[in-house]
Amino acid sequence: MKYIRERLSAKLFLANLIVVSVGVIILAITIQITIPTAFNRHMGMMDQATMNGMGMGMGQGQGQGYGQTLFESFRASMFESLAYAVTASVLAALLVSLFLSRRIVAPVRRLTDASQHIAEGHYDERVQVGGADEIAHLAERFNQMATQLEQVESMRRQLIGDVTHELRTPLTSIKGYMEGLVDGVLPSTPETFNQIHHEADRLSRLVDDLQELSRVEAKAYSLDVRSVAVSNLAQTTVKRLAPQATARRIGLRSSLPADLPLIQADEDRITQVLVNLAANAIQYTPEGGEVTISAARHADEIYISVADTGIGIPPEHLAHLFTRFYRVDKSRSRNAGGGSGIGLTIARHLVEAHGGRLWVESKGEGQGST
């Protein structure tokens, strides 16, 4: 029974077998019911004809004629019964076939209707199909596809809204500066032009980050995996961000044990992740603070951490930090010189592409983060 429930071919075979069986059963029952009635009727007709023949003086060859008449009566009653039986069995088979075909085709029709609704943009459409056969598996995959399409559509709308908001801020600022210059409200000083250049640079970084995010989310890149020393990754990160840390009077250092084994990773991509994390830590660490890159070995895994003594993160925001464009405090982010708000999202995608995990820990505001 389990095989029949899980195989559409078995259901179709069983349906055909049921139709044939119903036809044969109806045929047999109808013949059994109609033959006696038809035979008795023909026998009555034969007896009436025999009596009429005797009244007319027919006697010679009566036995031979009676046998022939009996055979013809039996044959006529058999044909009559078969006609009734075939008609009844065909009608029964048609009714059973109609019922079974509708029952089997009904899930396919529901799938067709649901696919039409999704094509019209109703991504919340789902199909309710019971059982465990191929159609049920198809319905399950269809619902998974619909869920993914709904998520993609939601992300697309959110992305459009987020990008619109993020682009509007620097564009509004640039427009304000330019209108001030044209109207003579703002002086044509190097400081004014530096502010315009700063906003244009911010807009350029946002576009670059969006392009990078689209690549990593679509996995439209390849990893050049090879043996890499974690110490080299940390030193490269420190060297690259040293000017930024010095300008903000923040200490930036690495602290790694000497016996760390080599890891299998794309050196450029993991360096990109570390630079992103360390730069983010520098942005949110006040003057006189410290950012430390460290690593440790636990069993067969290597843990690399970027810790800071910065402003910290409230617990309720930790789960959302890797969401695109999410900021704990947007005004504080801009005052700290925050980026586009998608750097951590890119970092997590890159780490997960290596089979790793990326998370954040913080005891609260003013207590730094890791």
SS3 263: strand
Residue 253 pairs with which residues in a beta bridge? 292
**Which stretch, 101-105, 125-129, 269-273, has highest mean pLDDT?**
269-273
Q: What is the DSSP string of 100-153?
A: HHHHHHHHHHHHHHHHHHHHTT-TT------SSSHHHHHHHHHHHHHHHHHHHH
- Please return the burial class of 235, using the count of CB atoms within 10 Å of its CB with bins 0-12, 13-18 and 19+: middle
Among the listed ranges 19-23, 139-143, 183-187, 222-226, which one has the minimum average pLDDT value? 19-23
As a whole number of angstroms, the distance between CA 162 and CA 213 comes to: 14
Among the listed ranges 7-21, 98-112, 142-156, 207-221, which one has the minimum average pLDDT value? 7-21
Instruction: Tell me what the mean pLDDT of segment 275-294 comes to.
Output: 90
Instruction: Tell me what the mean pLDDT of segment 159-188 comes to.
Output: 81
Question: Are residues 43 and 113 located together in one domain of the fold?
Answer: yes
Question: Are residues 190 and 271 located together in one domain of the fold?
Answer: no
As a whole number of angstroms, the distance between CA 170 and CA 158 comes to: 19
Question: Are residues 345 and 242 located together in one domain of the fold?
Answer: yes
Is residue 241 within 8 A of residue 278, CB to CB? The reply is: yes
| CA-based torsion, 272, 344, 306, 248: positive or negative | positive
**Is 141 a member of any domain?**
no
pLDDT in tens, 195-250: 888 888 878 878 888 888 878 877 777 888 999 999 999 999 999 999 888 988 99
Phi-psi region of 121 (alpha: psi -120 to 50; beta: other; left: phi over 0): left
pLDDT band at 335 (very low <50, low <70, confident <90, very high): very low
Residue type, 229: A
As a whole number of angstroms, the distance between CA 70 and CA 42 comes to: 9
In this model, does residue 158 exceed pLDDT 60? yes
Which carries the bigger pLDDT value, residue 38 or residue 149? Answer: 149
Helices (H) and strands (E) in the chain, counts: 9, 5
Question: Are residues 194 and 231 located together in one domain of the fold?
Answer: no
Question: Are residues 43 and 112 located together in one domain of the fold?
Answer: yes
Question: Are residues 161 and 279 located together in one domain of the fold?
Answer: no
**Is 128 a member of any domain?**
no
As a whole number of angstroms, the distance between CA 274 and CA 236 comes to: 9
In this model, does residue 7 exceed pLDDT 70? no
CA dist 53 → 43, 63, 69, 72 (Å) = 15, 12, 13, 17
- Residue 14 DSSP one-character state: H
Question: Are residues 234 and 348 located together in one domain of the fold?
Answer: yes
Of 180, 220, 219, give the one whose Cα is nearest residue 196: 180
* Residues spanned by the domain of 346: 225-353
- Residue 315 DSSP one-character state: G
pLDDT band at 3 (very low <50, low <70, confident <90, very high): very low
Question: Are residues 233 and 192 located together in one domain of the fold?
Answer: no
Counting other chains too, the contacts that 29-38 makes at CB distance below 8 Å and 24 or more residues apart are 30/81, 30/84, 30/85, 30/88, 30/89, 31/81, 31/82, 31/85, 34/80, 34/81, 34/84, 34/85, 35/77, 35/78, 35/81, 38/76, 38/77, 38/78, 38/80, 38/81
Of 293, 281, 284, 277, give the one whose Cα is nearest residue 343: 277
Q: What percent of the chain has pLDDT over 90?
A: 11
Q: What is the pLDDT of residue 173?
A: 83
Q: What is the pLDDT of residue 4?
A: 45
Both tokens assigned to 119: 């094509």
Question: Are residues 7 and 86 located together in one domain of the fold?
Answer: yes
In this model, does residue 106 exceed pLDDT 80? no
Question: Are residues 349 and 296 located together in one domain of the fold?
Answer: yes
Question: Are residues 239 and 329 located together in one domain of the fold?
Answer: yes
The rounded mean pLDDT for the chain is: 77
In this model, does residue 135 exceed pLDDT 70? yes
**Is 278 a member of any domain?**
yes
Instruction: Tell me what the mean pLDDT of segment 265-281 comes to.
Output: 90
Question: Are residues 46 and 12 located together in one domain of the fold?
Answer: yes
In this model, does residue 290 exceed pLDDT 50? yes
CATH of the domain at 339: 3.30.565.10
Q: What is the pLDDT of residue 56?
A: 47
How many domains does the chain contain in total? 3
